[in-house]
Amino acid sequence: MKKIIAILLCLLLTISLVACSGSSKSTDNASSTGSTDSAKKDTDTKQEETKQESTGGTKKIGIVVAEYNEWNHLYYDEIKRKCEEYGWTSEIFDAAQDVNQQINLVNSCIAQKFDAITIQPADNAALAPVMKKAADAGIIVVSHYDMDPSLGINDVIYQVLFGQKQSGILQAETYVKMAGETGKVALIGGLTGADNARQRSEGMREVLSKYPGIEIVAEVFCDWDRQKAMAAAEDIITAHPDLNAFLVQDDGMAWGVYEAIEAAGKTDQIKIASQGFYESSIPAIKEGKFMFSISYPASFFARDAMDLIKKVFDGEEVERIQVLGMELVTVDNVDTAPHD
C-alpha cells in the first residue's frame, strides 16, 4: 500500500512540474513578444522622428481669421499650396467678426497643440494676451496686423504685414492728385472696431484734413461686406446728392458701392477710389468704374508668412517684423500690377 501511494505521489509531482514548466514558458513567450513589439514601435517612432527632423516634419498650421471673406479665401488658397509644398497640414478658423470667439479659437489651437498660427486680429489689444499665451506655449504666432509695441508682445510673436495707415494715406493722396482739392467725399470702412479698418481711416483723414475744400460727409463701416457697402452707399447718395466720391477700404466693397452709384444714375458724377486690387478690379479700372486701387495680394501675405514659419522651424534667425510693399494701380499699369 505504501508503495502504491509513493508511486502516485511521484506521478503527481511529475505532472505538477510539467504544468509549471508550461506556464513559465508561456509567460516568457508573452514577455518576449511584448518586448519585440515595443522595440519595433520605438524604432518606428525614432525613424519617423528622424525623418521629420530631416524634412521639417508634418506640422499643423492654424489660420485664425476675423472673418472668412474674399481676401481670406485667396489667402488660404496660398496657405494650402505652401503646406502641400512643405508636407504640412492646415486648418482655417473663422471668428465671424466676434472678438471673444477669436480668443476662444486661439485657445483651441493651443489645446490642440498646433505648431504655428497665423492671425488677423479682430482687435489687437483684445487678442494680444492670448497671442502671447500661444507663443509662450511654444507655438509660432504670426500676426498680419501691426501690433503696437505698448501691447508688449512684439518680442514673442512675428509680424508679416503692410502699413495699414500708410495705405489709407496713399489712397487719399492719390485721390486728391487725380480729383483735385475740393469736393464732398464719403468713406466706406471695413470691420467695425478692427484695428486695420481704423488705421486705414486714420490715414485717409490725416490727408484729407489738410484740404479745407474737401468735406467728409459720411463714414460707414461695412464689415468688408459688399451688400452692406451697397446699402450704405445708397443711403449716403440719397442724403448727399452732390457727392463727388467714395473712398473705399476694399475692392470687394467698392463693387457694392458702384452698384449703388449705377442704380442712382450718377456714374459720371461720383468716383470710387479703392484698395485691395483683385483680378475682378482689372476691368473696373480699365473702364473707369474705379479711379485706382492699391495692390497687396493676399497670396503674398500667405507666402511670406509660411516661408517665415519654415525658417523658424529650421532654426534660422528671422526678423520679427517684416513689412510688405504695396503698389498703386491705375489704368497705366493695371495689366502688370500683381494681384490674386
pLDDT of amino acid 110: 98
Could you read off the pLDDT of 122-157 as tens digits, one per residue? 999 999 999 999 999 999 999 999 999 999 999 999
pLDDT of amino acid 193: 86
pLDDT of amino acid 40: 31
Rg, the chain, Cα only: 32
Q: What is the pTM of this model?
A: 0.77
Could you read off the pLDDT of 280-292 as tens digits, one per residue? 999 999 999 999 9
| Domain 165-295 annotated CATH 3.60.110.10 | no
Burial 47-63 (b: 16+ CB within 10 A, else e): eeeeeeeeeebebbbbb
Measured CA to CA, the distance from residue 21 to residue 15 in angstroms comes to 10
CATH fold of 60-162+298-325: Rossmann fold (3.40.50)
Closest by CA to 211, choosing from 185, 247, 241, is: 185
Measured CA to CA, the distance from residue 189 to residue 168 in angstroms comes to 11
Residues of the chain with CATH 3.40.50.2300: 60-162+298-325, 165-295
Could you read off the pLDDT of 60-103 as tens digits, one per residue? 999 999 999 889 999 999 999 999 999 999 999 999 989 999 99
Tell me what the mean pLDDT of segment 302-307 comes to.
97
